[in-house]
């Protein structure tokens, strides 16, 4: 371990005390089959197992089914899977299984503006029961950082870390709760050779502490390959080798495939899998099925003589029975009440999840330049610019249409400053949510509720700042009630627009969302009552004005400014046709408008879009994963 520690900058588990003992978890799968919705088989009746204390690699060429098998074993797929998956000899209970395992995805998506310590500490607050004291949680965080060589970077933000450090931080967030079963999808993806070696050495040390670690990997170097304990090789959805890594080349040689000297064993095995040396997949699959797992044969044989690699195993049935006995003797974690009560639900209460997620969202928003600093700057600058451009026109009857244009532009500005940051940032958060939800950090409802509540202060603050500047500079009525109505309408349009941004961000990617957000807004703007008065809209299109939330926002602003028995406007000219505010409202077809109806409609749009966005998020991330 000394060389490994020096390479990684990590501490041995004996010194950190981070290797708290967990019950051993062995996973066995039999005749696993999975077919796409179009009928194409991906996994074709494969079997195997992984053991506690071992680092297992799932390898194979592109399209062989590596990630699919990992998703099946981790419970990350909702597709119908044939076959059996046993944990310590007992049938897998997904509700419990997901709480005792963790899945680390290929892409190391992290909240960029949280520090290393904050990322791990917040993970601990969500993954470790609240019965543990804050002091002990901080100690666990310290141990975790020390074990993974992150202590020196604990005050660095995630966006300031290297690729290898980001990967270790992803592992640390899951390891802080000490799970006994860890799945990783391509943990070395995007890393240089040195970082790849350090990452696999780290996983090896984690496995040696008594955990079951399984990862997919694509053609590792010979040095990295020898670190793994076991290999599970796939080709075209079939298993062509399963056993010890050191027995791979002898096994292939036994079948008539000799690896050239000084050739990387994984490169040679991959060449065989893709057919560069002929059609060997069927024969290798048959050999695996007939011979069973050679490593299990050697460890389970009662006779002191060990079967040589070149010998044909004639006691296949007996070996399989012995293997099953070995698995059955493992303690079933599903039958242990203590563990089931610990893992059976989320680690913490809904209230704790809500507090932690709300705090995290607030911190991230305050540190995100686009979400806070840039938006604050934009509201201040644009507010001052419009205030100077439309200075003092609010009580001038001859400029009433200029004033209505200013009011409409204000709503338009607030719409896009609320919608676009959400459209740009939420798809990334959606990926993080998918990972954290899969690893049972929190429930979907609590995450979405915390996200909604944490955004409300900013959707109130920015419109209030903007309105406080433009309302008085443009000489709108010197009336606190009218000012309050203007502010409330501005806040509501921001909340509704942000809800639409959440909906678009939850439904599609960033690239599509940036295009869809303005396109979706155009028809809503057309039927707002500004570009064309409501009474001149063709009858067959007039119904669209009722589903335009901007109509109700714009109408509530105009009613707040010009209704409520406002006296005549000032007029410096000989004749001003709209000196009487009611005449202007009549021209805009808003004389019969009702503020209560307008605000009720805005609240309805806010709630409807939020609910739809929640179900879209649930469908895209939770249901259709």
DSSP assignment string, 34-52: EE-TTS-EEEEEEEEEE-T
Token pair in block for residue 77: 């797929």
Going by C-alpha positions, the residue among 156, 30, 23 that lies closest to residue 92 is 30
Label residue 336 by pLDDT band (50, 70, 90): very low
Give start and end residues of each alpha helix (H) in 439-546: 444-473, 480-507, 510-526
- Tell whether the model's pLDDT for residue 24 goes beyond 90: no
Stronger pLDDT, 113 or 424, i.e. the higher one: 113
Tell whether the model's pLDDT for residue 199 goes beyond 70. Answer: yes
Would you state the structure tokens that stand for residue 443, as one six-digit string?
A: 């429930």
In the structure encoding, which two tokens stand for residue 339, read together? 């563990």
Listed range (269-273, 312-316, 558-562, 571-575) with the worst mean pLDDT: 312-316
What per-residue confidence (pLDDT) applies to 200? 93
Nearest alpha carbon to residue 63 among 279, 187, 215, 235? 235
Please say if the pLDDT value at position 406 is more than 50: yes
CA distance 179 to 177: 6
Q: Is the pLDDT of residue 427 over 90?
A: no
Looking at residue 333, its pLDDT comes to 46
Question: How would you class 613 by CB atoms within 10 Å of its CB: exposed for 0-12, middle for 13-18, buried for 19 or more?
Answer: buried
Whole-number Cα distances in Å, 388 to 72, 224, 382, 383, 408: 62, 66, 10, 9, 17
Q: What percent of the chain has pLDDT over 70?
A: 87
- What's the pLDDT at 116? 95
Q: Given a cut of 80, is residue 327 above it in pLDDT?
A: no
Percent of the chain at pLDDT > 90 equals 47
Q: What is the pLDDT of residue 48?
A: 93
Question: Pick from 553, 529, 397: which is nearest to 475 by CA?
Answer: 397
What is the chain's alpha carbon radius of gyration, rounded to the nearest angstrom?
A: 32
Q: Count CA atoms within 13 Å of residue 254 on its CB side.
A: 18
What are the residues facing 259 on neighbouring strands? Answer: none
Instruction: From 143, 151, 207, 216, select the one nearest 180 (Cα to Cα).
Output: 207
Sign of the four-CA dihedral 80, 86, 91, 97: negative
CA distance 312 to 309: 8
Which residues, 6+ apart, have CB-to-CB distance to 471 below 8 Å? 483, 486, 487
Q: What is the pLDDT of residue 22?
A: 67
- Confidence tier at 464 by pLDDT (50, 70, 90): very high
The pLDDT of residue 624 is: 63
Determine the Cα–Cα distance for residues 109 and 433; give it in Å rounded to an integer. 10
Longest dimension (CA), the chain: 116
The confidence band for 5, taking pLDDT boundaries of 50, 70 and 90, is very low
Residues sharing a CB contact under 8 Å with residue 86, sequence separation 6 or more, in sequence order: 27, 28, 29, 30, 92, 327
Higher pLDDT, 2 or 613: 613
What are the residue ranges of helices labelled H in 292-399? 294-300, 316-328, 337-343, 350-367, 374-389
Residue 40 tokens, joined: 């194409």
Reported as a single tens digit per residue, the pLDDT across 77-103 is 867 888 899 999 888 888 888 888 899
| pLDDT interval class at 33 (50, 70, 90) | very high
Query: If you search the block for the tokens 């520090």, which residue do you land on?
Result: 115
Pick the residue with more confidence: 136 or 107?
136
Has residue 321 got a pLDDT over 50? no
Q: What is the pLDDT of residues 357-378, one digit of tens each?
A: 999 999 998 998 777 888 999 9
- Residue 199, token pair as written in the block: 């990452």
Burial 574-603 (b: 16+ CB within 10 A, else e): eebebbbbebbbebbbbeebebeebbebbe
pTM of model > 0.85: no
Supply the mean pLDDT for the chain: 84
Cα separation, 183 vs 56, in Å, equals 10
Asked if 222 and 254 touch (Cβ cutoff 8 Å), the reply is: no
Q: Is pLDDT larger for residue 617 or for residue 298?
A: 617
Q: Tell me what pLDDT residue 538 has.
A: 83
What's the rounded Cα separation, in Å, for the pair 459 and 492? 9
Q: How far is CA 90 from the centre of its chain?
A: 31
Choose among 147, 182, 188: nearest CA to 166: 188
Rounded Cα distance between 14 and 63, Å, is: 41
First vs last Cα of the chain: how many Å apart? Answer: 39
297-317: average pLDDT: 38
Sheet holding 27-35, edge to edge: 41-50, 27-35, 81-87, 90-91
- Range 517-524, long-range pairs (CB < 8 A, 24+ positions): 517/419, 517/420, 517/423, 518/416, 521/415, 521/416, 521/419, 523/548, 524/548, 524/549, 524/550
pLDDT value of residue 469? 96
Residues 149 and 594: their CA atoms lie apart, in Å, by: 63
Cα gap 219→467, rounded to integer Å: 60
pLDDT at residue 307, rounded to an integer: 35
- Please check the confidence at residue 599 and state whether its pLDDT lies above 90: yes
Instruction: Give CA–CA dist 290/288, Å, rounded.
Output: 6
Per DSSP, 497 falls in state H
SS3 199: helix
State pLDDT tens for residues 241-293: 999 999 999 999 998 998 888 889 999 999 999 988 888 888 999 998 886 54
Rounded to an integer, what distance in angstroms lies between the CA atom of residue 158 and that of residue 438?
21
Q: Which residue has the higher pLDDT, 531 or 92?
A: 92
Phi, psi of 396 (to 5 degrees): -100, 115
Contacts of 282 (CB under 8 A, 6+ apart): none
pLDDT at 625: 58
Handedness of CA 101, 107, 111, 115 (dihedral sign): positive
Contact 176, 439 (CB under 8 A): no
Question: Can you tell me the mean pLDDT for 20-31?
Answer: 82
Asked whether residue 73 carries a pLDDT value surpassing 90, the answer given is yes
| Token output for 465 | 């700042």
Distance CA 298, CA 516 (A): 61
User: Residue 254: which of 188, 308, 199 has the closest Cα?
Assistant: 308
φ, ψ at 81 (rounded to 5°): -115, 130
């Amino acid at each position: 371990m000394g060389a490994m520690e020096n390479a990684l900058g990590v501490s041995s588990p004996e010194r950190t005390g981070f290797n708290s003992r967990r019950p051993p978890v062995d996973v066995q799968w039999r005749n696993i089959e999975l077919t796409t919705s179009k009928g194409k088989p991906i996994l074709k009746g494969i079997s195997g197992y992984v053991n506690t204390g071992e680092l297992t690699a799932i390898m194979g060429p592109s399209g062989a089914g590596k990630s699919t098998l990992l998703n099946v074993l981790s419970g990350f797929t909702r597709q119908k899977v044939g076959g059996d998956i046993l944990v310590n000899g007992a049938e897998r209970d997904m509700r419990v299984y997901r709480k005792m395992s963790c899945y680390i995805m290929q892409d190391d998506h992290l909240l960029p503006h949280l520090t290393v310590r904050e990322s791990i500490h917040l993970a601990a607050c969500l993954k470790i029961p609240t019965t543990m004291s804050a002091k002990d949680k901080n100690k666990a965080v310290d141990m975790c950082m020390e074990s993974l060589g992150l202590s020196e970077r604990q005050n660095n933000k995630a966006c300031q870390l290297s690729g290898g450090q980001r990967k270790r931080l992803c592992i640390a967030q899951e390891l802080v709760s000490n799970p006994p079963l860890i799945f990783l999808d391509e943990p070395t993806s995007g890393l240089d050779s040195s970082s790849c070696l350090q990452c696999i050495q780290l996983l090896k040390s984690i496995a040696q502490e008594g955990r079951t670690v399984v990862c997919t990997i694509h053609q590792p170097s010979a040095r990295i390959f020898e670190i793994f304990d076991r290999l599970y090789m796939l080709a075209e959805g079939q298993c062509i080798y399963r056993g010890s890594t050191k027995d791979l080349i002898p096994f292939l040689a036994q079948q008539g495939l000799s690896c050239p000297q000084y050739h990387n064993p994984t490169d040679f095995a991959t060449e065989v899998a893709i057919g560069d040396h002929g059609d060997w997949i069927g024969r290798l699959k048959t050999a695996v099925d007939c011979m069973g797992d050679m490593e299990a044969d050697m460890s389970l044989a009662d006779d002191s003589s060990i079967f040589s690699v070149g010998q044909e195993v004639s006691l296949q049935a007996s070996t399989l029975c012995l293997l099953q006995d070995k698995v059955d003797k493992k303690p079933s974690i599903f039958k242990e009440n203590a563990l089931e009560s610990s893992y059976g639900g989320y680690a913490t209460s809904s209230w704790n999840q809500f507090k932690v997620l709300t705090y995290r969202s607030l911190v991230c928003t305050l540190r995100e330049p686009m979400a806070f600093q840039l938006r604050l700057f934009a509201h201040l600058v644009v507010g001052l610019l419009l205030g100077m451009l439309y200075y003092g026109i609010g009580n001038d009857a001859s400029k009433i249409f200029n004033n209505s244009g200013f009011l409409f532009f204000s709503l338009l500005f607030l719409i896009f400053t609320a919608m676009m940051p959400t459209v740009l940032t939420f798809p990334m958060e959606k990926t993080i949510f998918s990972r954290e939800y899969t690893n049972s950090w929190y429930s979907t409802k609590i995450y979405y509720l915390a996200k909604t509540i944490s955004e409300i202060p900013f959707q109130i603050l920015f419109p209030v700042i903007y309105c406080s500047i433009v309302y008085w500079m443009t000489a709108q009525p010197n009336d606190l009630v009218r000012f309050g109505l203007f502010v409330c309408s501005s806040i509501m349009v921001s909340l509704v627009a942000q809800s639409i941004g959440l909906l678009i961000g939850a439904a599609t990617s960033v690239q599509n969302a940036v295009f869809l957000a303005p396109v979706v807004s155009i028809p809503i703007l057309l039927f707002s009552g500004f570009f064309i008065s409501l009474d001149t809209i063709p009858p067959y299109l007039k119904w669209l004005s009722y589903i335009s939330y901007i109509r109700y926002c714009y109408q509530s602003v105009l009613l707040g400014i010009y209704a409520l028995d406002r006296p005549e406007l000032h007029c410096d000219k000989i004749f001003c046709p709209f000196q009487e505010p009611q005449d202007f409202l009549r021209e805009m077809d808003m004389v019969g408008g009702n503020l209560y109806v307008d605000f009720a409609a805005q609240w309805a749009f806010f709630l409807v879009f939020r609910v739809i966005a929640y179900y879209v998020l649930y469908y895209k991330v939770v249901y259709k994963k």
